[in-house]
Amino acid sequence: MAALDYLSRTDSGTLYGKPGLDLLLIETGLCRAVISLQGAQVLEFTAEGRAPLLWLSPSAQFEPGTAVRGGVPLCLPWFGENRRDPSKPKHGLVRNQLWELAGTDELADGTLVLDFRFVHPGDALFAASFECVLKVSLGKSLGFDLSLSNTAAEAAEYSWALHSYFAVDNVAEVEVEGLDGVEYLDKTRGFARDCLEGLQTFPTEVDRVFEQAPARQTIRTPNPITADSENCHTVITWNPGAELAATLADIGADYRGFVCVEHGNAFADSWQLQPGESASARLTLSR
């Protein structure tokens, strides 16, 4: 069966009652997924016979140029605040731009691979031109293969993360293993440096950047979630907690239903790419 038989084009009005964004709906024998062409952002993913992997905010907005809260947005070419100019948008520019669906492929095991492409010409937001390809694999697990090329005439620094929002029953009961003994920067304490001992938990607001983190983490829930990465040296753990969530219109009391364990290369792990140089990374998520 051709890959396109599994894929249909729809929109946020049809699926969520909130018109504004063009979406792709993927339904195969292995999984169901929804992807927004804005940001090449996976909004939903559920493997056959498994609990939903991702959290999408019930209050999410689907407006062109506005970030959608939930799923797996790609933050690039900078993660978090732009450290050179904090007035620029948080988390870069690609998550709010339309991407091109450049190709589809069906693997022998039934996994569907979608190739998304984004070309940045260089502008006032980010001077260097670049090209980004994100391959999204939809099967028994959710996979991302990121390839980034600096097409500018000068060297440039790129920081990025796949900002995964995972669906959980209660964030206060979640534990993350795979970060024991790793140093982190704590944003809730002015990026003070500390070291995690044992499991990462979320009793209140947590916003930590782990540099040179291990390649594998497991989120302990009744339906455990596993993240395996290649060349993703930064892991960010985040949940706003009740106080901060109350100030965020697209989260509010729903903060209990998700945990973010994000993977990429940011801060000290950022990519320094020379003219014409490329770098790549891979992330596989499953439960």
pLDDT in tens, 260-281: 999 999 999 999 999 999 999 9
Q: How confident is the model at residue 2 (pLDDT cuts 50, 70, 90)?
A: low
Residue 43 has pLDDT above 50, yes or no: yes
**pLDDT at position 1:** 47
User: Has this prediction a pTM greater than 0.75?
Assistant: yes
Pick from 2-11, 127-136, 157-166: least confident: 2-11
CATH architecture assignment, domain 3-286: Distorted Sandwich (2.70)
Beta bridge partners of 219: 176, 225
**pLDDT at position 275:** 98
CA distance 113 to 213: 27
Residue 63 designated active-site? no
| Structure-block tokens of residue 48 | 């056959």
**pLDDT at position 16:** 97
Beta bridge partners of 23: 10, 36
Percent pLDDT > 70 in the chain is 99
Buried b (16+ CB within 10 A) or exposed e, 219-243: bebeeebebbbebbbbbbbbbbbee
CA distance 195 to 212: 12
Percent pLDDT > 90 in the chain is 95
Residue 81 has pLDDT above 90, yes or no: no
Beta strands in 37-182 (DSSP E): 41-47, 74-75, 100-106, 112-120, 130-138, 142-150, 156-158, 160-162, 165-167, 175-177
For residue 272, with 0-12 CB atoms within 10 Å meaning exposed, 13-18 middle and 19 or more buried, which class applies?
exposed
Q: How confident is the model at residue 82 (pLDDT cuts 50, 70, 90)?
A: confident
Annotated catalytic residue, options 44, 91, 233, 262:
262
**pLDDT at position 84:** 85
CA distance 134 to 114: 8
| Structure-block tokens of residue 248 | 């965020």
Would you say 44 and 51 are in contact if contact means Cβ atoms under 8 Å apart?
Answer: no
**pLDDT at position 3:** 60
Residue 120 designated active-site? no
Domain boundaries, the chain: 3-286
Residue 155 has pLDDT above 50, yes or no: yes
Annotated catalytic residue, options 91, 120, 163, 263:
163
DSSP 255: G
